[in-house]
């Protein structure tokens, strides 16, 4: 994958969206997101065939826009529908095992320490996400708020490895994350709950452009 694909990395599942997830994703695409992760979690989350049917429709949108379509956690679904990749956390299957299963696809891993970061690299991750950088209401079982210190440390040691920040990132604080060395920001609420999701995506893209 290209690092540029992390610039504005939108994540959403149906429970995160104020309108339909398809409308929200389309607006985010129109605003200029570079990658999308389908993260169907939390109250009201779809499962089974209904989840798969939505995934297929979102995948088609991403294909049309030429951006990677990543699935959170659900390796079986990702393989079933030939998604562009998966994103896993520390509690999921080991990254080395997932790497084998996903073959040439993108594997992203959530990391919270330098040790987890180096393990993810050794296991064959293509990028890592780290956070929560700021306070977030979206995920309740997070680690403590980390700020941007770890991003700086990771970039000092591995300047070329793709890193994206996550958690509580907004149009207002995205610049700080980019300046710490992140290759991009991943957001749920900043786009999915925006009055105008297209404009929110476009503003995040502008923050990225002006910090390069």
- Binding residues (CB under 5 A) for Mg ion: these are 73, 89, 92
Taking CB under 6 A as the criterion, the residue among 90, 96, 113, 189 binding ligand TZP is 189
Q: What is the CA radius of gyration of the chain?
A: 16
Tokens encoding 22: 């398809």
Kindly state whether residue 197 participates in binding ligand TZP, applying the rule CB under 6 A.
Answer: no
Q: Catalytic annotation on 143?
A: no
Nearer to ligand TZP, 8 or 54 (CB): 8
Nearer to ligand TZP, 108 or 131 (CB): 131
Taking CB under 6 A as the criterion, the residue among 31, 105, 132, 184 binding ligand TZP is 132
User: Which listed residue (51, 110, 192, 198) is catalytic?
Assistant: 110
Q: Catalytic annotation on 110?
A: yes
Stretch 135-154 residues interacting with ligand TZP (CB under 6 A): 136, 138-139, 142
Pick what 92 binds: Mg ion, ligand TZP, none; C-beta below 5 to 8 Å, kind-dependent.
Mg ion
Q: Catalytic annotation on 153?
A: no
* CB neighbour list of residue 160: distance below 8 Å, 6 or more residues apart: none
Kindly state whether residue 167 participates in binding ligand TZP, applying the rule CB under 6 A.
Answer: yes
CA 131 to chain centre: 11
Taking CB under 6 A as the criterion, the residue among 166, 180, 194, 207 binding ligand TZP is 166
**Catalytic residue numbers?**
39, 110, 139
């Amino acid at each position: 994958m290209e690092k540029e694909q992390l610039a504005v990395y939108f994540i959403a599942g149906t429970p995160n969206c104020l309108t339909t997830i398809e409308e929200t994703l389309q607006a985010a695409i129109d605003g200029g997101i570079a990658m999308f992760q389908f993260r169907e979690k939390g109250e009201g989350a779809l499962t089974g065939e209904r989840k798969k049917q939505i995934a297929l429709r979102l995948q088609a949108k991403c294909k049309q826009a030429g951006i990677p379509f990543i699935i959170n956690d659900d390796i079986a679904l990702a393989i079933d529908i030939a998604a562009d990749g998966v994103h896993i956390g520390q509690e999921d299957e080991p990254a080395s095992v997932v790497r084998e299963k996903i073959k040439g696809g993108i594997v992203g891993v959530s990391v919270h320490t330098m040790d987890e970061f180096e393990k993810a690299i050794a296991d064959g991750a293509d990028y890592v996400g780290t956070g929560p950088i700021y306070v977030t209401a979206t995920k309740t079982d997070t680690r403590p708020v980390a700020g941007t210190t770890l991003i700086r440390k990771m970039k000092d040691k591995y300047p070329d490895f793709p890193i994206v920040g996550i958690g509580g990132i907004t149009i207002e604080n995205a610049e700080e994350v980019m300046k710490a060395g992140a290759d991009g920001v991943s957001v749920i609420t900043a786009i999915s709950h925006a009055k105008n999701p297209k404009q929110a995506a476009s503003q995040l893209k502008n923050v990225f452009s002006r910090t390069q």
